Structure 1
Amino acid sequence: MYAVIDGGIPPVGKVRVSGAKNSATRLLAAGLLTDEKVELTNFPTRLVDVGHKIAFCRDIGATVAINDDAEKIDIDASGLSSKLLTRDQFDVPIRTTYLLAASQVIRSGIARIPYPGGCPIGGGAAGGRGYDLHMMVWRDLGGVVTERDDHIEINAPDGFIGGTINFPISTVGGTENALLCASVAKGRTEIFNAYITPEVADLIAFLQRMGADISVYGTSHIVVEGKGGTLGGARMAVMTDRIEALTWIVYAILAKGELTVEGAPFESMTVPLLHIEQAGVDLFRNSTSIHVTPDCLVSGSVQPFELACGAHPGVISDMQAFYVMLALAGAGTSRVYDYRYPERIAFVSELAKLVKGDHLAAERGKITIKGPAQFKPGVANSTDLRGSMAVVMAALCANGRSVIQDVHMALRGYNDLQGKLNQLGSRISVHEDQIAQAANG
């Protein structure tokens, strides 16, 4: 999949921030923990990852009705069970497959879940991403975990049993998995060193609406009194996406647009917005929206800055690429550090293909940006999700035609991205066929 972008057109108009990807997929998994009806509104129904997860939920017996126009889904998981699927059905190209274990265990006493990204994760030839913290959760709650050729199997014939989960490092995914499993386990579970991001807080709020007994102490200690079975039905709106909101703000600054970003989640963006304002950007805002115009640049340009990515409430690693983009408009040298995910620098070499001159340098844990820089049209590849969006933004700002290969990476994180951009006057078209045809066309 690739995108053809005719850039150099400033975005004009309004864009509404969609429900957060990192909350929606978690709430979808929580919605499988009941035999009653669940309704999720403000749901980003057009996300690629959402589509893959819903397809798998349907494969194991859940009914999920999607309303794209209303951005709403209705879930009926009363027919869900653990099924031995084909290898193709287990080949689910998403990372958060661990979320699918609890709903199967409470009904079948066994869960069969895809490997993250469809790839085996064990040792030896299987190689790949570690799933050790999730396996620890299942084992600490009484499950027996077996790594099969094409899926992970968790056996807990009597359901999960409450226990103590003490994470060796803070982990968002591990915390989510523990919350889901502990909510339906028999007895009390204590979770230590939990990582409670805004999206995890959204999951906790939804589980509580479903009847889960969850108490949070401080910033990292959670106690769950398990129900020993399914929860109740509920209705809730997914929180809006702080990363998408930041993306639109930075894009408008770079492209010198006049853009109103509606539905900005200010409560989860305090520090990220403070960094933007300290870089000389005077953002116009009311209680729900941010209005960005060229007049927001107090001195006529972005001021150079240094920042380090870290844990919420700071600038998280998923936001790193957008501060690199912002720094390209800076009047001097900026530096962005990321010691939590120091290898997250692959996108820099692709971004450099769309920047005139030598303005970007990356080393482990550090990106140096020498501004101001100008964008140029070209061909670039997508790397990670946010890095893919960075090169899309660069192409949108460059005068001329660009091609972004593997653009599905960006589509994984942004609901109806092409539709929103076209609505703002941008010229982008997404194609399913081979990239060679775009280059020759």
Structure 2
Amino acid sequence: MSDLLYVNGGTPLNGTIRVRGAKNFVSKAMVAALLGETPSVLRNVPEIRDVHVVSGLLQLHGVNVDYDVEAGTLSLDPSNVETAHVADIDAHAGSSRIPILFCGPLLHRLGEAFIPDLGGCRIGDRPINYHLDILRAFGAQVDKHPHGIFLSAPNGLKGTKYQLAYPSVGATEQLLLTAVRAEGITELSNAAIEPEIMDLINVLQKMGAIISVDTDRVIRIEGVSSLKGYSHTALSDRIEAASWASAALATKGDIFVEGATQPEMLAFLNTFRKVGGQFEVQDNGIRFYHPGGDLKSIVLETDVHPGFMTDWQQPLVVALTQAKGLSIVHETVYENRLGFTEALRGMGAQIQVYKECLGGRDCRFGQMNFHHSAVVAGPTPLTAADIEVPDLRGGFSHLIAALAAEGRSKVRGITLIDRGYENFMGKLKALGASFELSD
């Protein structure tokens, strides 16, 4: 696929699109299949690049992967798990950060694991030290080499008591995938409890794990000696649903997002309504639309679940450029997630970023010299521009801005977007967007 898209903006997006399983869950459920001694089946799987990357990594480790793209069904048979060649892992992983989550399952199955240098979206500090510290706490030995990290567990993995300094999703997933087959009891304090985490716990429980979640963010796992495969339907992707909702608002459109579900989107739906957007929850999805009139400025602060999700922030900021008055945005999850606003300013948006914590409580970035707050003045007309996609969520937000802007924008780096948005160009076409791929 070409990496360059020409977008003719200024046309409202209208129509119906469908979202399938959550990117932030599906890849982790695929890794969980490594822990089973029998095959697993995962349904509602989107065709996105992350799914293909994880499928390839599983196949490198001897897992038989059968992906029915049209049905959205993955069959995963881990009967013949084996050690993969270092060079193959490194070459296939590319910029994906998923290999770090292979460590716990591989240590249980093979007694060793290797991870290459890790990439991922450049939206802030996402160190793997948290993951390595967790694995060490279970008894893993960690040896750093020039091209990556080798882990071993000569004495097996033992349950542990661990407290996270911050409720990190990735660190919580690492601990869950490692603890379920570790000997003894594991207790995690200050855990992430996002819907994708809870669905991963559902999968692990189906496999035979014993996991309890307390209201005070404490997760307890009683290790078991073996697990079986699972049969599971992935929860819907709340990030993609919110992205299309923001596109409807920014372009003054009307989009029915088939597959979107209300329970996981309560915080977003409340904010969407405060801005002036309207929605209708139906049995098979949610309709998002701009009702006409002025959008309203708001104060927005991102937070871990059940707060306003950081991945919802960027697309909604595009809509806030069209809201009347001053909106304040305080990003508390990733310190560099407001970098995408530079391109919006180049399109005419009036956005100023600040190092201070604006509009809410002080956060961990307040004394760390990061531009993590923004003031958005509106409404301001957006005009076409040449745009370079910086990362997955920022890239989709830039695409929304190009669709809302008057004129023809050149958007470069769009292959980053298909990491998490299934068939996004087909969906744009279904919504009446005007665009052309570069030859």
Displacement of 1:359:
1.4
Q: Secondary structure at the match of 1:40?
A: strand
The question of 1:33 aligning with 2:26 is answered no
Letter in structure 1 aligned against 2:332: Y
- Measured against aligned partners, the alpha-carbon deviations of 1:261-312 in whole angstroms (never above 9, x if no partner) come to 1222211111111111122223233244222344x24xx1211111111111
- In 1, Cα distance between equivalents of 2:107 and 2:35: 10
Structure 2: any 5+ residue segments left out of the alignment?
Answer: 355-370
- The answer as to whether partners of 1:97 and 1:115 remain within 8 angstroms in 2 is no
The question of 1:285 aligning with 2:278 is answered no
The question of 1:212 aligning with 2:209 is answered yes
- In 2, Cα distance between equivalents of 1:233 and 1:130: 31
The question of 1:4 aligning with 2:6 is answered yes
- In 2, Cα distance between equivalents of 1:91 and 1:312: 29
Correspondence for 1:180? 177
- Measured against aligned partners, the alpha-carbon deviations of 1:61-89 in whole angstroms (never above 9, x if no partner) come to 11111111111111011111223321643
- In 1, Cα distance between equivalents of 2:278 and 2:407: 30
Do the aligned partners of residues 289 and 339 (structure 1) sit closer, same or farther apart at CA in structure 2, a change above 3 Å counting?
Answer: same
The question of 1:362 aligning with 2:358 is answered no
Structure 1: any 5+ residue segments left out of the alignment?
Answer: 120-127, 431-437
| RMSD (CA atoms) | 2.0
Correspondence for 1:149? 146
- In 1, Cα distance between equivalents of 2:24 and 2:282: 25
Displacement of 1:346:
1.2
Q: Secondary structure at the match of 1:185?
A: coil
Q: Secondary structure at the match of 2:151?
A: strand
- In 2, Cα distance between equivalents of 1:16 and 1:53: 23
- Measured against aligned partners, the alpha-carbon deviations of 1:137-172 in whole angstroms (never above 9, x if no partner) come to 111111101112222211113432112222222211
**Match 1:270 to one of 266, 281, 303:** 266
Do the aligned partners of residues 380 and 62 (structure 1) sit closer, same or farther apart at CA in structure 2, a change above 3 Å counting?
Answer: same
Number of matched pairs: 417
- In 1, Cα distance between equivalents of 2:197 and 2:289: 33
Q: Secondary structure at the match of 1:283?
A: strand
Displacement of 1:333:
1.5
Correspondence for 2:311? 318
- The answer as to whether partners of 2:57 and 2:93 remain within 8 angstroms in 1 is no
More deviation in 277-286 or 199-208?
Answer: 277-286
Displacement of 1:91:
4.8
Displacement of 1:129:
4.9
**Match 2:25 to one of 20, 23, 26:** 23
Do the aligned partners of residues 26 and 429 (structure 1) sit closer, same or farther apart at CA in structure 2, a change above 3 Å counting?
Answer: farther
The question of 1:397 aligning with 2:404 is answered yes
- In 1, Cα distance between equivalents of 2:339 and 2:133: 30
Displacement of 1:366:
1.1
- In 1, Cα distance between equivalents of 2:94 and 2:387: 26
Q: Secondary structure at the match of 1:274?
A: helix
Do the aligned partners of residues 56 and 118 (structure 1) sit closer, same or farther apart at CA in structure 2, a change above 3 Å counting?
Answer: farther
The question of 1:308 aligning with 2:301 is answered yes
Q: How does 1:86-101 map to 2 (within 5 A)?
A: 86=87, 88-89=90-91, 91-101=93-103
Correspondence for 2:366? none
Displacement of 1:400:
3.0
**Match 1:336 to one of 329, 332, 337:** 329
- The answer as to whether partners of 2:261 and 2:286 remain within 8 angstroms in 1 is no
- In 1, Cα distance between equivalents of 2:412 and 2:309: 26
Do the aligned partners of residues 154 and 424 (structure 1) sit closer, same or farther apart at CA in structure 2, a change above 3 Å counting?
Answer: same
Correspondence for 1:74? 75
**Match 1:252 to one of 223, 226, 248:** 248
- In 1, Cα distance between equivalents of 2:330 and 2:104: 37
- The answer as to whether partners of 2:239 and 2:311 remain within 8 angstroms in 1 is yes
Do the aligned partners of residues 424 and 265 (structure 1) sit closer, same or farther apart at CA in structure 2, a change above 3 Å counting?
Answer: same
Displacement of 1:213:
0.9
TM-score of the two chains, using structure 2 as the length reference: 0.90
Displacement of 1:360:
1.8
- The answer as to whether partners of 1:114 and 1:152 remain within 8 angstroms in 2 is yes
Correspondence for 1:14? 16
Correspondence for 2:414? 407
Letter in structure 2 aligned against 1:274: N
Do the aligned partners of residues 21 and 236 (structure 1) sit closer, same or farther apart at CA in structure 2, a change above 3 Å counting?
Answer: same
More deviation in 284-293 or 364-373?
Answer: 284-293
- In 1, Cα distance between equivalents of 2:289 and 2:108: 52
- Measured against aligned partners, the alpha-carbon deviations of 1:166-204 in whole angstroms (never above 9, x if no partner) come to 222221111100000101112211112211111100100
Correspondence for 2:360? none
The question of 1:55 aligning with 2:56 is answered yes
Letter in structure 2 aligned against 1:273: L
Correspondence for 1:434? none
